[in-house]
Structure 1
């Protein structure tokens, strides 16, 4: 997986976020500021522009630029959290021109650790961690089992989607949604939903 692959991933994320902007915003309207979809759409539009202005490079550089741009352009909690995730992923991938599946799995572990450090959230708190953590575990398990890349990334996609759906019955313990107490129950976390989109986009690029 080279820089072109990761650029295509970010392009697919931008497309998916744009297509689901209103859905993400509706999810956020129920338990947050009603701006998650619009914020992410603006952020990934800026990322596409940044990558177009600095094409090529390495996988790590592509993802680091993605993270830095999101931190700069996206307000609220999602900008710093997503920005940290992509920057930590880029840092973990280093300066190599190509990335193995095992290296990508380690990168996702680093991204998850960065998000946890910044947001202080654990699984079950009704945040993006509820989608990112199972996706990271599924990818690492697939690597250990010798699974091919497309199948491994499909497992990560499925785990993220399942994790996002599992936030619906949870009571939020972190972020603005936590202020609602029991009223947060019955709503899908928008950050977990968008994380599932990010993993689905990664699989889509791998599947061609």
Structure 2
């Protein structure tokens, strides 16, 4: 079974709840190596997405993803808004006019989201950013391609969890954390953590 526009909207509502629950955690992670605003910014952005969805839910998955993108770009400050906004925008473009998302299209959308994040942030694996969560997430998702959408997203979330954990041992090479150099080692990247949280929320919503 595929995922409709309403299904994507339900996943975004679930994600908003998860981000709200983990807002303080994300703030504290960012306080250690950044501006301490990641949790607050993301929570505000996903709350705005939910408000927009209460007005009207676009018919297609692409339409819902584009709504999320434009809302995050316009409402969220710092790096999170442009990065997540670009991810959703690239995913939306890949989804096109499809009425439902199937597994191959989901994988294409995930790859497009990663490409968007890398194009916007200029980060690669090992830089201690959200890219370090996305790369293993997509690799794991591809390995689960014979399963359902929920299987693929669960595998992606598992991969993202591992990737987020890996940033604890990395020296940041991008963003404000890079100013700390070796002093940032021992701290998880907040963007990698929020990426893992979002993918887990999407997986739970799919189930």
Match of 2:106 among 97, 104, 107: 104
Match of 1:77 among 70, 76, 79: 79
Residue 137 of structure 1 corresponds to 139
* Distance in 2 of aligned mates of 1:61 and 1:16: 22
How well do the aligned residues superpose, as a CA RMSD in angstroms?
Answer: 0.9
For residues 88-132 of structure 1, what are the alpha-carbon distances to aligned partners after superposition, in whole Å with 9 as ceiling and x for unaligned? 111111111111111010011011001001100001100000111
Q: Does 1:189 align with 2:189?
A: yes
Match of 1:87 among 89, 113, 127: 89
* Distance in 2 of aligned mates of 1:99 and 1:152: 12
TM-score normalised by L of structure 2: 0.97
For residues 25-67 of structure 1, what are the alpha-carbon distances to aligned partners after superposition, in whole Å with 9 as ceiling and x for unaligned? 0000000000000000001111111111122411000001101
Alignment of 1:154-169 (within 5 A): 154-169=154-169
* Distance in 2 of aligned mates of 1:93 and 1:28: 32
Residue 176 of structure 1 corresponds to 176
* Distance in 2 of aligned mates of 1:51 and 1:79: 18
Q: In the alignment, is the contact (CA less than 8 A) between 1:102 and 1:140 conserved in 2?
A: no
Give the match's secondary structure for 1:168.
helix
* Distance in 1 of aligned mates of 2:178 and 2:203: 32
For structure 1, the residue ranges without an aligned partner over 5 or more in a row are: none
Give the match's secondary structure for 1:96.
coil
Superposition deviation, residue 4 in structure 1: 1.2
* Distance in 1 of aligned mates of 2:192 and 2:82: 15
For residues 180-203 of structure 1, what are the alpha-carbon distances to aligned partners after superposition, in whole Å with 9 as ceiling and x for unaligned? 010110000000000001100111
Residue 206 of structure 1 corresponds to 206
Match of 2:124 among 103, 122, 125: 122
